[in-house]
């Protein structure tokens, strides 16, 4: 896509170029499953929230099968503060006692999920809200007593998601899991999205966050790595290029690709219409992780 700031509404040739770029991607992805993890600033900015909803509906309208998986960290933190509870984190995960778990469920299932579904349905009756507890969709176990009711996904029962897709609807999944005894758990949204994408053999797994993607130099946004293979990721982890909180995220990307997901994309949710830019333009805007990386690319970033 052209990097110039030409307004396509004033220059029809730009609009035509964008449409011509999009067409082969539309043809290729028609009927394919794309799991989108929704998070970061896009969840709290009204403009970015609306842009995200438009992108998801557009993907659906051109024949893709998007699945939205969401957390709600900022909203949960806000409600905990309102109720006088301090947020505590261990290893980047929110410690979740019984009272916090009730608040997490209320916020994710009663507020965030409903808001996403409502935004999507402004464009027609296309979205259905689901929870990982529905039909035990996200089977989970405790991550350890130090975290309380924080769970790890042990199994995905995708039948309800598949039925929703078969009805030509968009599933919107709140990340609450449940174990065999009926105990519910707070599930990290990245983990849940990865598990769902793996079990469904998704063509695409896309993570919206507040970073541009993988940077060769974290201090320099111009060092964005547009495409990388799983072995390259391992090399970056070994030499320290990937460090800190990016290590588990990138390791999860590798695991997803090696488990059958076509490609994993790290994209900046602070950009309007970032999903369409990443999926339906030749250049894309984030980092794509594939089995072979640039060595296997032959038709642009798709």
Domain boundaries, the chain: 30-207, 211-302
Q: Provide the pLDDT for residue 11.
A: 59
Evaluate if residue 301 carries a pLDDT over 80. no
The CATH number of 30-207 is: 3.40.1160.10
Give pLDDT tens digits for 281-296: 887 789 999 998 764 4
Query: Smallest Cα–Cα separation from 299: which of 31, 29, 24?
Result: 24
CA 178 – CA 141 distance, rounded (Å): 8
Within 10 Å of residue 278's Cβ, how many Cβ atoms? 26
Q: Do domains 30-207 and 211-302 have the same CATH topology?
A: yes
Give whole-number Cα distances, 214 to 29, 116, 124, 190, 211, in Å: 24, 27, 36, 16, 8
Which CATH entry fits the domain spanning 211-302: 3.40.50.150, 3.40.50.300, 3.40.50.2300, 3.40.1160.10?
3.40.1160.10
Residue 17 confidence (pLDDT) above 90: no
Q: What is the value of pTM for the model shown?
A: 0.89
Question: Would you place residue 42 in the very low, low, confident or very high pLDDT band (cuts 50, 70, 90)?
Answer: confident
Under the banding of pLDDT at 50, 70 and 90, the label for residue 5 is: very low
Q: Alpha carbon of 17 to those of 12, 28, 279, 282: distances in Å?
A: 9, 18, 15, 11
The size of the chain, in residues, is 302
Distance of alpha carbon 117 from alpha carbon 171, whole angstroms = 9
pLDDT over 50 (residue 71): yes
């Amino acid at each position: 896509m052209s990097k110039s700031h030409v307004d396509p509404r004033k220059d029809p040739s730009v609009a035509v170029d964008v449409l011509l770029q999009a067409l082969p991607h539309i043809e290729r992805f028609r009927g394919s499953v794309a799991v989108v993890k929704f998070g970061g600033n896009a969840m709290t900015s009204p403009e970015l929230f609306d842009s995200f909803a438009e992108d998801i509906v557009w993907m659906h309208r051109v024949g893709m099968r998007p699945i939205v998986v969401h957390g709600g960290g900022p909203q949960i933190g806000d409600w905990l503060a309102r109720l006088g509870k301090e947020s505590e984190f261990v290893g980047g995960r929110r410690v979740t006692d019984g009272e916090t778990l009730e608040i997490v469920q209320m916020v994710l299932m009663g507020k965030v999920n409903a808001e996403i579904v409502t935004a999507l349905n402004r464009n027609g009756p296309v979205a259905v809200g689901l929870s990982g507890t529905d039909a035990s969709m996200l089977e989970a176990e405790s991550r350890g007593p130090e975290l309380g009711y924080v769970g790890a996904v042990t199994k995905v029962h995708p039948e309800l998601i598949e039925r929703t897709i078969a009805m030509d609807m968009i599933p919107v999944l709140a990340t609450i899991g449940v174990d065999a005894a009926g105990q519910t758990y707070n599930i990290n949204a990245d983990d849940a999205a990865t598990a769902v994408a793996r079990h469904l053999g998704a063509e695409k797994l896309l993570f919206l966050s507040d970073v541009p993607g993988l940077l060769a130099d974290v201090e320099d946004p111009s060092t964005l790595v547009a495409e990388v293979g799983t072995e390259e990721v391992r090399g970056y982890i070994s030499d320290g290029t990937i460090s800190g909180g990016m290590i588990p995220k990138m390791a999860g990307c590798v695991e997803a690709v090696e488990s059958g997901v076509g490609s994993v994309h790290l994209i900046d949710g602070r950009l309007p219409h970032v999903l369409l830019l990443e999926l339906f333009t030749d250049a894309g805007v984030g980092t794509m992780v594939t089995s072979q990386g640039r060595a296997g690319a032959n038709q642009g970033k798709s």
